[in-house]
């Protein structure tokens, strides 16, 4: 899979950066001329992953969230969100719909469900005490030109 373009950035774990991350990804995707729906799918998935890094990974402590966004050949968008936070003990369980470790904070356990249903592929690698890396891909509809 050929990488046509790539952008990397990192940001401190401040909740205000959830919107910033969405804005960067939206701007990057413009070159692929996505549909409104494709753009909103990717923005929502990115928001979920970045929010998880801030809310669960770092739990209010300071840390860095690193993002890589790529446009691959075949009109595929690749996104990686990495934190060096607390990590996830049981990834399979964490990915179950409605599973949350923070119900008292009004979290509903839907983040991973949103990521997997709005993107084509989702993979989560995590190590307790080391951090979590979420990788997602979505193929955009073919274009005429």
Partner 1 sequence: MGIDIRSENGAAIAVLSGEIDHHSAKKLRTELDRFIITMQPELMAMDFGSITFMDSSGVGLIMGRSKLLRECGGRLEIHNPQPYIRRVLKLSGLERIVRIK
Ligand X SMILES: Nc1ncnc2c1ncn2[C@@H]1O[C@H](COP(=O)(O)OP(=O)(O)OP(=O)(O)O)[C@@H](O)[C@H]1O
Residue numbers at the binding site for Mg ion (CB under 5 A) = 52, 111
Give the containing element (helix H, strand E) for 8: strand 3-12
Using the CB atoms, write b or e for 98-128: b if 16+ within 10 Å: ebbeeeeeeeebebbbbbbebbeebebebee
Q: Report the residue number, 82 or 118, with the smaller CB distance to partner 1.
A: 118
Candidate list 21, 67, 85, 118; residue touching ligand X; CB under 6 A: 85
Question: Encoding tokens for residue 98?
Answer: 């409605």
Residue 129: strand, helix, or coil? coil
Q: In this structure, are residues 135 and 78 in contact, taking their beta carbons and an 8 Å threshold?
A: yes
Q: Does 138 bind partner 1 (CB under 8 A)?
A: no
The residues that are catalytic are 48, 52, 107
- In the shown chain, the binding pattern of residues 108 to 127 toward partner 1, with x for contact by CB under 8 A and - for none, equals x-xx-xx--xx---------
Q: Does 34 bind ligand X (CB under 6 A)?
A: no
Binding site for ligand X (CB under 6 A): 48, 52-53, 56-57, 83, 85-88, 94, 99-102, 107-112, 132
């Amino acid at each position: 899979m050929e990488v046509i373009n790539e952008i990397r950035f990192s940001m401190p774990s401040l909740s205000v950066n959830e919107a910033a991350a969405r804005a960067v990804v939206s701007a990057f995707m413009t070159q692929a001329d996505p549909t409104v729906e494709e753009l909103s799918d990717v923005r929502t998935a990115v928001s979920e992953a970045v929010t998880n890094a801030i809310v669960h990974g770092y739990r209010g402590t300071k840390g860095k969230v690193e993002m890589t966004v790529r446009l691959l050949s075949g009109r595929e968008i690749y996104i990686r969100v990495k934190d060096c936070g607390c990590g996830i003990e049981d990834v399979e369980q964490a990915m179950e719909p409605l599973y949350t470790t923070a119900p008292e904070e009004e979290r509903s356990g839907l983040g991973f469900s949103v990521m997997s249903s709005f993107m084509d592929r989702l993979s989560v690698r995590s190590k307790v005490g080391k951090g979590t890396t979420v990788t997602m891909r979505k193929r955009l509809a073919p274009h005429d030109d």
